[in-house]
Amino acid sequence: MVSLRQFATLTVVTILAAASAIAHPVLLATRGESNLNMHKMLDLINHERMQYGVPAVSYEPRLTQDANHHSGYQSRMGTMTHNDSNGNTLSRLVEAGIDAVACGENVAYNQNDEDEVMTAWMNSPGHRENILNPDYTHVGVSHINGYWTQVFATLKGGSKGSSSYSPGGSTYTSEEDMGSPKPFLGLPLTNGLWSTVNNNYRRSPAELQHRF
């Protein structure tokens, strides 16, 4: 049994954010049944990054599609997980044709809104590391039936991210030297909470590397 308020994290490599001053209408994600204020979520992510001097991440609709898929999968399974029938987060992105050098994922369950789930993630070291990771350039987010998913990625072949939400398009970032990924460390938390910290996924030119 898991508690009503719980969250889990998966880390790979991350980038940064700066707060955006745009209005906050409630906007649905690109597909599925996600109910989420994407403007507000992106602002919250980039505000936290700005506090630590980290560059902003950009909204990426393909990552949001993946996040929608994964939130829906968790809802159908009735549990939080970082894996599905396509494998781990990076395997899912590769399967979707998203050319990510590295990626990270935060999941959570039963938080009421964007502020509450971001507070929960920022109060957890592993989840906070994903949100503040300066290597990540793009993000997609979903919320379906109480299941929240953030997917961060470092995308090849373009410019640094911006804090603007643009539902009609996407931006890309150039490949960078991200250094050595950190080792896997699984941490059992109290009250039924579970977190995987520093579970790094990174691609080399010749192969997909899953380092523990």
What are the φ and ψ backbone dihedral angles of 115, each rounded to 5 degrees? -60, -45
* Domain-located, residue 151: yes
Q: In angstroms, how far is CA 205 from the centroid of its own chain?
A: 23
CA atoms within 13 Å, Cβ hemisphere of 63: 31
Domain presence at residue 64:
yes
Identify the pLDDT of residue 84.
77
Cα dihedral across residues 93, 142, 42, 179: positive or negative = negative
Distance of alpha carbon 69 from the chain centroid: 13
Report if residue 34 sits inside a domain. yes
Whether residue 55 has pLDDT greater than 90: yes
Q: For residue 88, tell me if it sits in a domain.
A: yes
Which DSSP state fits 171?
-
Identify whether 1 is part of a domain. no
Domain that holds residue 37: 6-211
The CATH number covering residue 142 comes to: 3.40.33.10
Do residues 103 and 14 make contact, with C-beta atoms less than 8 angstroms apart? no
* pLDDT, position 43: 97
Write the pLDDT tens digit of every residue in 159-183. 454 444 444 332 222 222 223 333 3
On whether the CB atoms of residues 46 and 38 are closer than 8 A, the answer is no
Q: Is residue 73 scored above 80 in pLDDT?
A: yes
- How many Å apart are CA 43 and CA 57, to the nearest integer? 10
**pTM for this model (two decimals):** 0.66
Give me the number of domains the chain comprises.
Answer: 1
* Cβ–Cβ < 8 Å for 163, 50: no
**pLDDT grade, residue 79 (50/70/90)?**
confident
CA nearest to 8, candidates 99, 91, 111: 111
